[in-house]
């Protein structure tokens, strides 16, 4: 498959491979890594990215379901470590056309958002793809459930 490697020009591939010295990883394993967003849209804004270069969620296949579930699981755990119980959170993906980097990554945020109203539109329904919904969509398209 064409998206199963890393790309030298991709900033997220550089982070995932450990070549970006200015980024402190909050989490790192063989499949994903996580770091604080350098331009946060909320008080707590974590980015989780895959270690393999997947351009966006439109390129996901059956083999990526486990990766998405892992990203969601780790995102929830990381947020639980830094916020009070019952703090509203949001986890999901932006469309490729509205993303800063064309490499699959999940945003994990606490609410309320602290960005301007225009940027906050990115996290509204019909734009922001909640992680649970994306996992369901990929499963449905792969297994015809």
pLDDT digits (tens, 9 = 90+) for 38-95: 999 999 999 999 999 999 898 898 999 999 999 999 999 999 999 998 999 999 999 8
> What's the rounded Cα separation, in Å, for the pair 113 and 39?
12
Fold of 11-144: HIT family, subunit A (3.30.428)
Q: Give pTM, 2 decimals.
A: 0.91
Cα dihedral 90, 95, 98, 99 sign = positive
pLDDT digits (tens, 9 = 90+) for 5-44: 667 789 999 999 988 888 999 999 999 999 999 999 999 9
> What's the rounded Cα separation, in Å, for the pair 128 and 62?
21
| Residue ranges covered by each domain of the chain | 11-144
- Single out the residue of 49, 50, 48, 99 nearest to residue 76, CA to CA: 48
Q: Return the pLDDT at 108.
A: 98
């Amino acid at each position: 498959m064409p998206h199963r490697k890393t790309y030298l020009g991709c900033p997220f591939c550089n982070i995932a491979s450990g070549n970006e010295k200015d980024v402190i990883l909050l989490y790192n394993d063989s499949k994903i890594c996580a770091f604080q967003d350098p331009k946060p849209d909320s008080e707590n804004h974590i980015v989780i990215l895959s270690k393999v270069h997947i351009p966006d969620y439109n390129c996901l296949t059956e083999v990526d379901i486990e990766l998405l579930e892992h990203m969601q699981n780790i995102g929830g755990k990381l947020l639980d470590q830094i916020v009070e119980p019952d703090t509203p959170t949001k986890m999901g993906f932006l469309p490729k056309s509205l993303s800063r980097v064309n490499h699959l990554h999940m945003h994990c945020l606490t609410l309320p958002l602290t960005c301007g109203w225009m940027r906050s539109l990115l996290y509204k329904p019909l734009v922001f793809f909640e992680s649970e919904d994306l996992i369901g969509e990929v499963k449905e398209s792969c297994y015809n459930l």
